[in-house]
Chains A and B, each alone.
Chain A
Amino acid sequence: MSTDTELDNLLNAYRVAPASAALRQRIVQNASRPSPWAELLAAIGGWRIAGPALAASLMFGVVSQLWWTQSVSHSVAEDSVWTLAMLNTTQEWANE
């Protein structure tokens, strides 16, 4: 085989059978099926309900995080005051 045409002719010998009707049908049916996310969204009432619910839960998350951070930093500050004073507030020491 010396020329490009000869190689092309040989390559053309390798033909692929067309797709079966069953495969076509399978592909189209798969597309008709909604995605699991879409199904879940429909089950919880669509975006009109899921959207505000998601926003509210996000807000709750942010607010509770802020509140928790503030309360923890307050207690740490209190602890450090006692430590600085080299005092212990446990019951054992209080009794003595």
Chain B
Amino acid sequence: MTNCEDDLLVSRAGKGEHAAFEVLVNRHLDAVLGFAERMIGTRADAEDIAQDTFAKAWQQARRWKPGQAQYRTWLFQLAMNLIRDRWRKQRPSEPLDDTIADTQATPDSQLQSAAQAARVNAALQQLPERQRAAIILNHYHGLGNIETALAMDASVESVESLLGRARRSLRQSLNSERV
């Protein structure tokens, strides 16, 4: 039902209807922002990527063909391309700065969970780009292997292999930090 609604909204947005686009932004912005933040590691850069992703989505709404993939998967694909472009142009800024700054004045339990989040973020940033994208799409956004493959423009087999390697590397790096 949601996909059908998305298809309808995108076709309306393609005809220049801003209200339809606003609904799409409200529906998918958090997912795109979350994906970008976990890929890049910093909030400010992730917000730029999210903004550029939706700007592209608006410009290309007319070209959207329903039934090929979920709209959300297409947004992830756009975001992924923008992140790659950004990496080609510049090295990503230092991750974790925001997270560490936020932990300074918080109570113990919050401090602990913030530290844990920072550890996971650091472990994610150590992964190669494609492994990171695969685990983020699969674990945090609930995409199946086929959808992840579509978003990453890869085969399902390679996504399975990327996920296996990503999980192994994460387990190793998070275990070694515990010791």
Which residues does A use to contact B, with CB under 8 Å? 1, 4, 7-8, 10-11, 13-19, 23-24, 26-28, 30-32, 35
**B residues within 8 A CB of A19?**
29-30, 33, 47, 50
B64 on interface, CB distance cutoff 8 Å? no
Q: How far is the CA of A88 from the CA of B38 in the complex (A)?
A: 79
Q: How far is the CA of A33 from the CA of B129 in the complex (A)?
A: 34
Contact call A11/B47, Cβ cutoff below 8 A: no
**A residues within 8 A CB of B167?**
4, 7
A13-B51 CB under 8 A given contacts A1-B174, A7-B170, A24-B29: no
Q: How far is the CA of A18 from the CA of B113 in the complex (A)?
A: 17
Interface of B is mostly: helix
**A residues within 8 A CB of B34?**
16
Which residues does B use to contact A, with CB under 8 Å? 18, 21-22, 25-26, 29-30, 33-34, 37-38, 43, 47, 50-51, 54-55, 58-59, 113, 116-117, 120-121, 124, 135, 139-140, 167, 170-171, 174-175, 178
A26-B51 CB under 8 A given contacts A8-B139, A10-B116: yes
Interface of A is mostly: helix
**B residues within 8 A CB of A10?**
116, 120, 174
Contact call B58/A31, Cβ cutoff below 8 A: yes
Contact call A28/B37, Cβ cutoff below 8 A: no
Contact call B51/A32, Cβ cutoff below 8 A: no
Q: How far is the CA of A17 from the CA of B54 in the complex (A)?
A: 18
Contact call A18/B30, Cβ cutoff below 8 A: yes
Chain B residue nearest to A8 in the complex (CB): B139
Contact call A1/B55, Cβ cutoff below 8 A: no
Residue from B22, B38, B171, B178 within 8 A of A16 (CB atoms): B38
